[in-house]
Amino acid sequence: FKFFDQVITSESAGVMKPHRGIFTYALNTVGADAGSSLFIDDSHTNIDAARQMGFMGFHFTQYHHFEKFYDDQLAKHQQCSRI
C-alpha cells in the first residue's frame, strides 16, 4: 500500500461497494472531494458507481498496470487524494 495515504474498507465504512455510502465515508474520512480522488477496484460495477459520484476510476487487473498508470498519470497530479 505504499501508494496510499489511507485505505478504506467495507468493514471500516460499515457499508459494501457499490453503495454510495462507502464513497461518502471515504471522502469524509480524508476530507477530500470526489473530483480529486481516485477509486481503484477490480469490479467495473464498483468503478462505475464511484465515477457516478465524480471519482476518477482505475480498473485493477495486474499490479504492473497500476504501477505504470501511477507513473504516467498520478505522479503528475499531486493534488489527487490517495485513499
Can you give the pTM of this predicted structure? 0.74
Q: Helices 44-52 and 20-30, interaxial angle, to 10°?
A: 60
- 4-28: per-residue pLDDT in tens? 777 888 898 999 999 999 999 999 9
- 34-61: per-residue pLDDT in tens? 998 888 899 999 999 999 999 988 888 8
Distance CA(25)–CA(63), nearest Å, equals 26
Distance CA(72)–CA(66), nearest Å, equals 10
pLDDT for the residue numbered 3: 64
Is 25 in contact with 36 (CB distance < 8 Å)? no
pLDDT for the residue numbered 77: 58
Alpha helices in 2-72 (DSSP H): 10-13, 20-30, 44-52, 63-72
pLDDT for the residue numbered 51: 96
